[in-house]
Amino acid sequence: MKVSANVMYLDSPPAQSIPVILDSLPVPAIFEDREMPRRARLQIDLILLAIEALDLSGSEAILTTASELELQDIIKNRVNLWRLRSANPLRRYSQRRSLSVVEAKALVVIASYLARRMTVLIRQLLLAYQQLSEKQLSMEHHFRLSDYLDRFRKHFRSRMNPRRSGVIAYNSDEKLNDLAISLLGELLFCTGTAGMQRFWSSLFDGEI
Amino acid sequence: MTIQRQYSLPNCTLLLEGLNDATTGSGQLEVRPVMSILVNAECHLAGSAPPLTGGREFFDSLVTAVSRYAQEFLSGVHHPYDTQEPPLVQLRRINRNLHRLIVQRRGDVHLASNGLMGKTGSTAPVEIDITTVQLFDLVEAVDQFFADSQTLPGLSLQMTPVERRYAHADQPVLKRAAPAAIGVSSLAVAAIALFFVPIPEVQRPKEPLPQANSNSLSTTSGAEGQVTTGSGPIGPDPLGSETPSASPVAETATPSPLASETATPSPLTSETATPSPLASETATPSPLASETATPSPSELSTAPTTATVGSEITDNNTLRDLNGKLQQQILQNKEEKLKFPRPLLYRVAMRPDGTIVDYEARNQPARDYENQTPLPKLKSTSTPTSSATGSEAPLAYFKVVFTLRGVPQVSPWRGYR
């Protein structure tokens, strides 16, 4: 027994320590060694896109948060991050390589942390949207909200492949605004006590 | 002793009243004793004055519905309820920003009778529309309750992704079947349309003319036009063509066993009949010996089909040099104005000294208009002088094309290497 244990130890690669924070996200049994489903890859990238539209230095913040949470082994640098996000099938330069479960976890954790920091802003914007739509006013009446929508549309159009049918579905400003608002709602849910777990679990909905 | 727990969010307050189970707890000394028995649960939603009140059954249902709907909100995948009877608490989506909380009037649900909630006697369920932010506060209150290990530790957050069978169940069968139906019908239409298209006749490619017969180019001297049949230089492979150039003196005649019998018996030409180009240095002088040498399997495998008439010049510099010479000779000797209906193509063999040994027409107009070209004259002037030693020298082959206007274009037959 002891010999075999030693051999096992020697054969195993230098312990790739997976940060403890990722353990709080349970993986459905059938996804343990599989890549993330298509909708999950799309959803994660869109949530990050919404964060970037909320926060001017969002993409920088993603990297900073990665190192703060000691996830820099998974998200090493800007290029690495771009590659992970390019697993989104709607991306202009969509990668064939897929997103592993660990990489997806890291992105979800980062998104939830960033969302939590912006809780107040997210709530404000959603309340503003609610008030404006009750009064049937256009979104331009709230500066911060129209700023967010504007930036989200710009990000979406510059990064998504306009020939994909999934992108064609968002061919008008209104449709993109709707997407941006629903992403804002999802971001709000990410800020909650169990928001990260809820967001993670929802990624596998309809896949098991 | 009654324990109260309150989870307050801006739009939603969850108030729980319960009891400590004295048999399990360690007594009254705890600062925050465990609430293990729920007596009353109240859910205050901002905007709807009377709170939703109920017992354990109501609270369980509320927690399940909220948790399940939160996931549905995030993923967009609806999770239908398994039970026939609607649960006490349900949440339904109205639009992106509005959600309907439906509470049945049965079980241990107590709804206050005042205000807009309707009369106590009515059995219609209570419906409250809440916004996304309010919904989030409700979810957050429930999540804070779940996170609190001192309150009803028996209840914990259960999150399981929705199974695949629910994923797109909301799409009607007709809508899902439409793409398949369109595909099948378009295939059928295409099949019918193609049925009337005649089947194209298969035309076999014409057999290539045997090159060996038309190849009148021979390096044997003595009598002019003597042809070594069957051993025409049909593309000697690099192995066969390079080795002889290293030993230009040895003319390798017919290394292949098939062609060895057709080697001309004239003593002049068959000075060295080597079985293979590789063995040219150990050339045997008699044709008889060559015949005995050929069947050896190792030599067969080295160059089984090589059939060179003369060793070929492949050196780029020499070729370039000769190319220029040939062009010059043709230009000097050609008549002023030539016109042909089609381009003429010739293959011309030259010695290193620049004399034209032979030429060969490679297309029909080349044969027809042969006498208008300077080639016959060039050949007749140059061949006699070298007839005695000609067979020994290596040869360079050139492609000579006369264009429609009679302009000659000269290039190495196999190009530069």
Domain boundary among B133, B162, B191: B162
Do B304 and B389 share a domain, yes or no? no
Nearest CA in chain B to A129: B97
Q: How many CB atoms sit inside 10 A of residue B184's CB?
A: 10
Do B321 and B298 share a domain, yes or no? no
Q: Percent of chain A at pLDDT above 90?
A: 19
**Does residue A11 surpass a pLDDT of 60?**
no
Do B259 and B389 share a domain, yes or no? no
Question: How many Å lie between the alpha carbon of B94 and the closest alpha carbon of chain A?
Answer: 13
Question: How many Å lie between the alpha carbon of A181 and the closest alpha carbon of chain B?
Answer: 8
Question: How far separated are the first and last CA of chain A, in Å rounded?
Answer: 38
Task: Read off the pLDDT band of B72 (50, 70, 90).
Answer: confident
Do B286 and B326 share a domain, yes or no? no
Average pLDDT, chain A: 82
Residue A152, pLDDT score:
92
Domain boundary among B257, B284, B309: B309
B133 to A181: CB separation less than 8 angstroms, yes or no:
no
The total domain count for chain B is 3
The predicted model gives A48-73 an average pLDDT of 86
Task: Read off the pLDDT band of B299 (50, 70, 90).
Answer: very low
Residue A46, pLDDT score:
92
Residue among A126, A181, A189 whose CB faces B139 most closely: A189
Q: Is residue B167 part of a domain?
A: no
Q: Is residue B398 part of a domain?
A: yes
**Does residue B272 surpass a pLDDT of 50?**
no
**Does residue A186 surpass a pLDDT of 60?**
yes
Q: Is residue B207 part of a domain?
A: no
Do B124 and B251 share a domain, yes or no? no
**Does residue A55 surpass a pLDDT of 80?**
yes
Rounded to whole angstroms, how far apart are CA atoms A12 and B282? 63
Task: Read off the pLDDT band of B49 (50, 70, 90).
Answer: low
Q: Is residue B108 part of a domain?
A: yes
A contact residues 134-173, partner B, Cβ 8 Å cutoff: none
CA dihedral B367, B369, B372, B373 (to 10 degrees): -50
Question: How many Å lie between the alpha carbon of B171 and the closest alpha carbon of chain A?
Answer: 14
Do B283 and B347 share a domain, yes or no? no
**Sequence-separated (6 or more) residues with CB below 8 Å from residue B267:** none
B167 to A178: CB separation less than 8 angstroms, yes or no:
no
Q: Is residue B396 part of a domain?
A: yes
Cβ atoms of residues B303 and B327 within 8 Å: no
Do B280 and B326 share a domain, yes or no? no
Residue B27, pLDDT score:
53
Rounded to whole angstroms, how far apart are CA atoms B313 and B352? 8
Do B296 and B329 share a domain, yes or no? no
Q: Chain centroid to CA B170: how far?
A: 37
Residue B183, pLDDT score:
92
Question: How far separated are the first and last CA of chain B, in Å rounded?
Answer: 103
Task: Read off the pLDDT band of B146 (50, 70, 90).
Answer: confident
Average pLDDT, chain B: 70
Provide the whole-model pTM: 0.57
**Does residue B392 surpass a pLDDT of 80?**
no
Q: Which of A38-52, B99-113, B352-366, B367-381 is least confident?
A: B99-113
**Does residue B413 surpass a pLDDT of 50?**
yes
- Between B377 and B301, the more confident residue is B377
Question: Is the CB of residue B398 less than 8 Å away from at least one CB of chain A?
Answer: no
pLDDT in tens, B98-118: 888 888 877 777 765 444 444
Task: Read off the pLDDT band of B210 (50, 70, 90).
Answer: low
The predicted model gives B384-412 an average pLDDT of 73
Q: A110: part of which helix (H) or strand (E)? A: helix A101-117
Question: Is the CB of residue B98 less than 8 Å away from at least one CB of chain A?
Answer: no
Domain that holds residue B255: 243-309
DSSP letters of B69-131? HHHHHHH------SSSSPPSEEEEE-SSSEEEEEE-S-TTEEE--SGGG--SS--SPEEEEEE
**Does residue B201 surpass a pLDDT of 90?**
no
Task: Read off the pLDDT band of B83 (50, 70, 90).
Answer: low
pLDDT in tens, A169-179: 888 888 888 88
Task: Report angle CA B63, B65, B66 to the nearest 5 degrees.
Answer: 65
Q: Is residue B267 part of a domain?
A: yes
Please state the φ and ψ torsions of residue B167, each to the nearest 5 degrees: -60, -55
Residue A187, pLDDT score:
92
Q: Is residue B252 part of a domain?
A: yes
Do B267 and B369 share a domain, yes or no? no
Question: How many Å lie between the alpha carbon of B14 and the closest alpha carbon of chain A?
Answer: 15
Rounded to whole angstroms, how far apart are CA atoms B393 and B357? 10
Q: Is residue B320 part of a domain?
A: yes
Do B89 and B39 share a domain, yes or no? yes
pLDDT in tens, B11-32: 888 888 888 776 655 555 567 7
Do B99 and B14 share a domain, yes or no? yes
**Does residue B277 surpass a pLDDT of 60?**
no
Domain boundary among B141, B162, B183: B162
**Does residue B169 surpass a pLDDT of 80?**
no
- Between B47 and B398, the more confident residue is B398
**Does residue B357 surpass a pLDDT of 50?**
yes
Residue B63: list chain A partners with CB under 8 A: none
Do B157 and B30 share a domain, yes or no? yes
pLDDT in tens, B53-71: 888 888 888 888 888 888 8
Q: Percent of chain B at pLDDT above 70?
A: 61
